[in-house]
Structure 1
């Protein structure tokens, strides 16, 4: 006599960000508006040098009109299972975290201090929440130029590190450092972030992609989105800073043009990634 064994079908694997991450993104959105709209529009609020005030307005504008809409559109599509949108979501959160740090550390204390702190807390912990969620694992496939895109990410990381160290190492024996002249800063939080966090992170992603790891393929897309928005943001903040203080060397039209070129160059590997990434896991 035999007994039939009934088996239950395995539950479908949920794709996209978890409910926790979705809720945090929706809470983050008004915090972005509260921190950036007054930064862009309010007169007399910013108390730094004119060039830095112009630059922070440019950054706030990109956060408001590029990163925030990108985040919300990606959140909706990622919730429906889009792998590409999920990568855009993570990249946008990384960009918001990066620049929330600068609002908090590089902007002289003003009435928006607590708004900047809330923006930093929500951006950072929403990004952490997104990384706690199961991330899509993508096979790069035979046609995707794995080593070319890896080399691009590594080149960005190496050139970025070299540019900052070229300035920072000679400044170790300067009091005050000449590189900070005209900024009103006592140390450069951009260099701190890049050298301690973002350059190592992008390097790890590039190595994972080089080894054709599925996680590396997904995170490479997020890194390219992050760098694309950041290049646009730096171009805009350089232009705004130059408009505010045309004689300053801190923000120049040459700097704006350089990052416009970087944004255009990044579109190539980003487009290749978008074409290679599957619509669904």
Structure 2
């Protein structure tokens, strides 16, 4: 079982400390979420900085809201980061469900899924090195990995789960062990029906905070603010945060039993000391 760290967004100036500490530990991936109308760092820029400060660990958007972005520029940005990091970049994508993000970007919330499908077709063509059109040549650089960086999709709806087999390499499952199983089964079934070889990569997410009470309180406050739009569901998510070593180990074991390949421990508290505490918990 691989274990990564989802980086906090409340203190961008501390992300280098998090990344350097994680790069020397047992962790496999650094993840960074995406919003537009929120006080968070832009993930592609932030992960580019972290790529230069690390040597081993993967760098992952989790998830980048693709419909808010131009696909040609996004393809170029992703290929650049993939090339510079020598294949350590993982492009996690989703459609985004917050109305304010789409209003600010000028995109239609109702058609965001279909837009993502069109974007993927454009980006895959660009990553292949083919000319963009009859009158426009190839758009480089070519990514480090032939065909483009590894692409994972997040989501819960049937169309999102089918998108994994259609365009992706795996599934980002932001669900607890109690109900992630059916999502994984659907992804595997769609993968087989599409005639894909091998198996999709499954990455789960769990919210965690380790440290003195001030660290846990900081994490809960930050997480509650981020998910305030979700109402009562936000309170349930905050209440489910893992705050002990035993709870973290148990949750990772539960995901492993369900066939998950990697667990991302998402940290909303800003204290970089959590990296060492999480490493000890593992």
TM normalised by structure 2 equals 0.30
Larger radius of gyration: 1
Structure number with the higher strand fraction is 2
Structure number with the higher helix fraction is 1
TM normalised by structure 1 equals 0.30
